[in-house]
């Protein structure tokens, strides 16, 4: 069971309520966002939106593995970054990667969606192995169609928000479901508004990224990733480009997603977040998993001297 989370999301403004009033699903999501109490006793404290809940319960019964990484090796020229990583995330788990700068956290995340191709090892998403051909540095995807399809099932959120500057926030969120997944516009619009409501910025739907704060842009990026209905959310330092106050807005959204039972692989330097949110914490050191375990094990009964040193430097 996850630890209890601290803090409560602040209710949004009257302006927001008015703006979302014309979208029932956005209104419902915005209310959920406003009412979300991060002190709630656990995963089942709040009723979930029906489709998510039904799908989640179905998957939870099986405890299916969503991400499975086996013996992963990745190097850049002479630099061996990942030296044999085994990692898995089951449905509803939040797996958090921690480690010092350069330890290979982003590289590992980028191997999950094949933005980087590993020289050795395999990646499975929801039981399907990503097929690679060739050897060592010549290794490459066997089927670009498979890569595109699998990528369209992974929600990526980066440190830099990577929103399209020429598109409104709503169009940013609708882009992938319309263009990649070729879904119905009206249905996608309804869902996109609901996702914007969920992250608390439905009133910003018609604005452009440059008109939003960093925290709002990152929440828009999260809504965009959610709108493809991903099997897993991959976060790479989602809060590290933000001021502490804006950081909290994003942290609270990530906590909300964890409470909903979203499967996530999260890279973060925020040890408070790692401690409160994680089903499993993985400490990477020089391309290897130096220690992993539950939050209580890793933070409360640390075994590795290197991890102790790392946590002490981070103030833990």
* Interaction site with ligand ATP (CB under 6 A): 76, 79, 81, 99, 101-107
Token pair in block for residue 169: 């926030």
Q: How far apart are CA 132 and CA 119, in angstroms?
A: 10
107 binds, among ligand ATP, Mg ion, none (CB under 5 to 8 A by kind): ligand ATP
Q: Which CB atom, from 168 or from 268, has the smaller least distance to ligand ATP? A: 268
Q: Which CB atom, from 36 or from 310, has the smaller least distance to Mg ion? A: 310
Q: Minimal CB distance to Mg ion: which residue?
A: 106
Q: How far is the CB of 237 from Mg ion (least distance, A)?
A: 6
Question: Residue with structure tokens 């925020």?
Answer: 270
Query: Strands 232-236, 264-267: parallel, antiparallel or unpaired by DSSP?
Result: parallel
Q: Quick one: CA dihedral 107, 112, 114, 120, positive or negative?
A: positive
Q: Are 241 and 160 in contact (CB under 8 A)?
A: yes
Q: How far is the CB of 159 from Mg ion (least distance, A)?
A: 8
**4, HSE (Cβ side, Cα atoms, 13 Å):** 8
Q: How far is the CB of 102 from Mg ion (least distance, A)?
A: 8
Residue 103 binds to Mg ion (criterion: CB under 5 A): no
92 binds, among Mg ion, ligand ATP, none (CB under 5 to 8 A by kind): none
104 binds, among Mg ion, ligand ATP, none (CB under 5 to 8 A by kind): ligand ATP
Residue 106 binds to Mg ion (criterion: CB under 5 A): yes
Residue 218 binds to Mg ion (criterion: CB under 5 A): no
Q: Which residues pair with 140 in a beta bridge?
A: 133
Q: Which CB atom, from 157 or from 192, has the smaller least distance to Mg ion? A: 157
| Cα angle for residues 167, 168, 173 (degrees, 5° grid) | 90
Q: How far apart are CA 292 and CA 94, in angstroms?
A: 13
b/e per residue 11-47 (b: at least 16 CB within 10 A): ebeeebbebbeebebbbebbebbbebebeeeebeeee
Q: Which CB atom, from 107 or from 113, has the smaller least distance to ligand ATP? A: 107
Q: Which CB atom, from 215 or from 238, has the smaller least distance to Mg ion? A: 238
Q: Which CB atom, from 30 or from 106, has the smaller least distance to Mg ion? A: 106
Q: How far apart are CA 312 and CA 108, in angstroms?
A: 24
Q: Which CB atom, from 74 or from 189, has the smaller least distance to Mg ion? A: 74
Q: How far is the CB of 99 from ligand ATP (least distance, A)?
A: 6
What is the separation of C-alpha 25 from the centre of its chain, rounded to a whole number of angstroms? 22
Q: How far is the CB of 287 from ligand ATP (least distance, A)?
A: 8
Q: How far is the CB of 101 from Mg ion (least distance, A)?
A: 7
Q: How far is the CB of 99 from Mg ion (least distance, A)?
A: 9
Q: Are 276 and 94 in contact (CB under 8 A)?
A: no
Contacting positions for Mg ion (CB under 5 A) = 106
């Amino acid at each position: 069971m996850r630890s209890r989370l601290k803090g409560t999301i602040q209710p949004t403004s009257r302006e927001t309520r008015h703006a979302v009033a014309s979208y029932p699903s956005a209104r419902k999501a915005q209310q959920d966002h406003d009412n979300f109490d991060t002190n709630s006793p656990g995963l089942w404290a709040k009723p979930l939106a029906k489709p998510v809940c039904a799908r989640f319960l179905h998957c939870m019964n099986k405890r299916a593995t969503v991400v499975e990484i086996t013996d992963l090796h990745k190097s850049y020229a002479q630099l061996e970054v990942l030296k044999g990583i085994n990692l898995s995330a089951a449905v509803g788990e939040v797996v958090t990667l921690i480690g010092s700068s350069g330890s290979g956290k982003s590289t590992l995340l980028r191997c999950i969606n094949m933005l980087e191709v590993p020289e050795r090892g395999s990646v499975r998403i929801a039981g399907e192995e990503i097929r690679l051909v060739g050897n060592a540095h010549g290794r490459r995807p066997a089927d670009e169609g498979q890569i595109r399809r699998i990528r369209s099932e992974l929600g990526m959120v980066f440190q830099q928000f990577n929103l399209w500057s020429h598109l409104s926030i709503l169009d940013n969120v609708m882009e992938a479901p319309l263009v990649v997944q070729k879904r119905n516009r009206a249905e996608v619009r309804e869902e996109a508004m609901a996702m914007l409501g969920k992250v608390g910025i439905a009133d910003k739907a018609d604005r452009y990224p440059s008109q939003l704060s960093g925290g709002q842009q990152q929440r828009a990026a999260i809504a965009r990733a959610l709108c493809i209905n991903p099997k897993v959310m991959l976060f790479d330092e989602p809060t590290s480009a933000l001021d502490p106050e804006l950081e909290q807005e994003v942290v609270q959204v990530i906590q909300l997603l964890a409470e909903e039972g979203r499967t996530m692989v999260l890279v973060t330097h925020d040890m408070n977040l790692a401690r409160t949110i994680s089903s499993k914490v993985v400490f990477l050191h020089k391309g290897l998993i130096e220690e992993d375990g539950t939050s209580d094990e890793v933070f409360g009964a640390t075994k590795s001297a290197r991890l102790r040193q790392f946590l002490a430097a981070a103030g833990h």
